[in-house]
Every structure is written in structure tokens, then in C-alpha cells.
Amino acid sequence: MAAGLPVIAADFPDFARSSKATAAGVCVPPRDVAVIASTIEWMFEHPAEAQEMGKRGRELVMRSLNWEHEEQELLGLYGRIVGAR
């Protein structure tokens, strides 16, 4: 996503939830080769839509899926762990 490319991810709950929320890509059944191939073909056949997905993904990375944002989450977790002792 940081590269501005649309994501094709396995249709696992966390990936699916994130993908639907951000519209930065498509989730596919991880073992369905035909669906994976058709999704890749769709991306090439619909470059404007694929480019928009990539753009939304990049914006998400710049806004919240980066170290500056995640650092606070990690430090908060460490604080809760150390404080629990």
C-alpha cells in the first residue's frame, strides 16, 4: 500500500475488514486460483479503479499505518505490560 498499488489479499477476517473499510484493494479466497487470477486480470482491465484503490491505500499508510502512529500504540502496550507487574 505504501507504494500506491492496489492490494489483493487473502480473505481472512482482519484483512477483509481492513480492505472493506479502506477500499484499498480486494480480498480473495486464498486457495481459489481462478478467483485470484480473475482479480489480477480485473486490475489490469480497470486501471483507473485500480489506481484509485492504490491511492486510498497510500493515503491510509501516510495517515495511520506508519511508525509515527504505531509508535504510540506500541509504547502504550509496553506501559500497560510494565505497569501490570
50-60 per-position pLDDT tens digit = 999 999 999 99
2 lies in some domain: no
Per the prediction, the chain carries an average pLDDT of: 90
Report whether pLDDT(39) > 70. Answer: yes
48 lies in some domain: yes
25 lies in some domain: yes
Question: Does the pTM exceed 0.85?
Answer: no
Domain that holds residue 32: 7-83
1 lies in some domain: no
Report whether pLDDT(20) > 70. Answer: yes
- The arithmetic mean of pLDDT across residues 72-76, rounded, is 89
17 lies in some domain: yes
Task: State the total domains in the chain.
Answer: 1
34 lies in some domain: yes
27 lies in some domain: yes
The 10 Å Cβ neighbour count of residue 27 is 19
55 lies in some domain: yes
Name the band, by pLDDT with cuts 50, 70 and 90, for residue 85. low
- Mapped to the 3 state alphabet, what secondary structure does 30-79 carry? CCCHHHHHHHHHHHHHCHHHHHHHHHHHHHHHHHCCCHHHHHHHHHHHHH
